[in-house]
Amino acid sequence: MKIIFYTHPSFLGHKSMPRFTNMLAKGMAIRGHEVEVWSPSGVFARLSKSSSLIKYLGYIDQLLIFPFQAKLILKRKDEALHVLTDHALGPWMSFIKKRKHVVHCHDFIAQKAAVNKIEDLKIGSLGRYYQNLIKKGYSKAHNFISVSETTRKDLHLFKPETLKNSQVVYNGLNQNFKPSESITSLRRQLEQKLNISLSNGFLFHIGNNEWYKNRTGVINLYDYWRNSNKHSKPLIMVGPKPTKDLIALKEASGFSKDILFLDNIADDLVRDLYSAATLLIFPSYTEGFGWPIAEAMASGCPVITTAEAPMTEVGGKAAFYIPKRPYKQNEQNEWLKVGAKEIEKVVSLSLEERKKVISSGIHNSKRFDSKQALDSIENIYKSCYSKNYENPSCSRSNGS
């Protein structure tokens, strides 16, 4: 079977989506399929070094240049399965809608924001127009794979007509996450590398600057916890360069010297931080899946996250949960109090209790096995590829 994967252009600087595409492409190639990966080359995006201009010039590449180039190539007889690795690539359905296809769905956060379904998050008219363009695109598709039941539920809200082939395949971990054989030794190595005291452990967060990752809430929680308890464990936050507001929040903290931002770090350092951390604090407002929860558990790191799907889907019974951070300022103090109490609970676990929590997390993380995920995805691909495309829905199953 020939499979053409369509993915986001490299000039956008995404990290998680290229990893996802690479996992799919390598996995299918290993299984004996002929694989190609297509994405815009950035004819216009290359004309500027400004990140904001690259974004807007990139729209020309993504919405005009690339579809034109793809149509020219696909004029010849086509026997491939066309896979959009993200439903946000929906506009490209215009040239594959009558071909054998599958669309992967990750999260509908931007789609929901565009129709005012997310409290306190408004986007401009251009953003709403672009999200509507995306919706018009994926609405022409017939076959979908969602990364969680939460994402599938959102898909069905935006595409309410009967979906004969809408299935869930949980993400498979795409790196070798595992517990450290010697946390003491690993923390010592990290201390030397990062020049910060980690011998007593540390709190860890990983995520980008998007509002739903709640990075400000992480620092607020850390401050409240430190002010309420005698522990002196630092906080390490991994992600892109922090915003000016985040930097100001850190500097205003009474524990500023114990808060460390790390950006653009290597994957092996991320894995070490997971393995060495006392806990992962992950109080997101929402997610499509929630990779860090599974990654941390596979690394032997306890997790505190939000008691909302899909975080509860991924964390299962192995995670510790706190409420979603309230949007109203006058309700946030109670949230901080509850969150700090949960942090203290995990930090104060006895050695035996911690071993049980870690064991439970490792067991839970095995649900997100990459081989198992790829096997399930391959079966769906084969089903879609083998069907007569006069009836473009490749399955009548709605199961996961």
pLDDT in tens, 221-266: 999 999 998 888 999 999 999 999 999 999 999 999 999 999 989 9
Helix axes 267-276, 183-194, angle to 10 degrees: 130
Q: What angle, rounded to 10 degrees, do the helices at 332-347 and 215-228 form?
A: 70
In 169-239, DSSP assigns E strands to 203-206, 235-238
pLDDT of residue 285: 94
Question: Where are any strands of DSSP class E within 51-168?
Answer: 80-84, 101-105, 143-146, 165-168
> Residue 381: what pLDDT?
97
Q: Decide: helix, strand or coil at residue 154.
A: helix
Grouped pLDDT means (10 residues each) for the chain, 400 residues: 95 83 96 96 80 81 92 84 97 94 95 87 88 95 95 91 84 92 95 94 96 96 94 94 96 96 94 98 95 97 97 97 90 94 97 97 96 97 78 48
Rounded CA gap, 301 and 280, in Å? 7
Pairs from 207-211 (Cβ < 8 Å, separation ≥ 24): 207/238, 207/239, 207/282, 207/284, 207/292, 208/239, 208/240, 209/239, 209/240, 209/242, 209/243, 209/246, 211/121, 211/285
In this prediction, residue 392 carries a pLDDT of 53
Q: What are 64-97's pLDDT values in tens digits?
A: 999 999 999 998 767 899 999 999 999 999 999 9
pLDDT at 77: 67
C-alpha to C-alpha distance for 189 and 182, rounded to whole angstroms: 11
pTM of the complete model: 0.89
